[in-house]
Amino acid sequence: MSTEPSVAKDAVLKRSEALAENTPQVSGYDFNEGLDYSKLFESYVNTGFQATNLGLAIREINRMGPAIGSGPNRQP
């Protein structure tokens, strides 16, 4: 007999469900290709839940860059 409460097991052990075909694949940055910060930050979008949101925020900041004086188009 198991010593874990059934409510805990029921909350954690769930059946897998099929994902939609257009679901992005989770993958990290390939450091074997050297270090390119732009590619590294862009890879966050497909790294995992928290990194995805950071990656999306980085994209938005870079998109706004010229308007707020930062990002890749920053003028000194």
pLDDT at 41: 85
Taking residue 55's Cβ as centre, other Cβ atoms within 10 Å add up to 19
pLDDT tens figures, 17-74? 898 998 878 888 899 999 998 888 888 888 877 888 888 888 888 888 766 655 555 5
pLDDT at 14: 85
What are the boundaries of each domain within the chain? 26-76
Sequence-distant (6+) residues with CB within 8 A of 76 are: none
pTM: 0.48
Angstrom distances, CA of residue 60 to CA of 2, 13, 54, 64: 49, 36, 10, 6
How many Å apart are CA 46 and CA 50, to the nearest integer?
A: 10
pLDDT at 2: 66
